[in-house]
Amino acid sequence: MQTSIFLAKLLGPVMTVVGLAVLLNGRAFHSIAEDFIANRALLFLSGLLIMPVGLAIVLTHNVWTADWRGLITVFGWLSAIGGAIRLLAPQYVVQGARAMLKQPTMLPIAGAIWIAAGLILCFFGYR
């Protein structure tokens, strides 16, 4: 349980701030995302950073429960898999990102999801 609380305290504020940044700076974030997917080196570097973070979470917190702790595990697995895909098949990441960026509601929805997940983790981590 201590690992769950630590990870909730670590991930919760970061996820909340990222979600707020996406909602408050939608145009800038859209531009940043376009620049990001156009830069293959940056895409590769992000995979090198995201995959080990996800693996660290999975290795220390592979807890499959139907409560807030499961959210941490899912985030860890998605990060590990997402990082691996960035390294092994960046063309799919670019393709998916371009499709998402064409949808005007995608960024606000993503921002809201990040805020909700972050606030849930903050609540359970800091209560």
Q: Is the confidence at residue 87, as pLDDT, over 90?
A: yes
**pLDDT > 90: percent of the chain:** 99
Closest CA to 72 of 12, 116, 2: 12
The answer to whether residues 82 and 53 touch, using CB atoms and an 8 Å cutoff, is no
What is the per-residue pLDDT across 34-52, written as a single tens digit (0 to 9) for each?
999 999 999 999 999 999 9
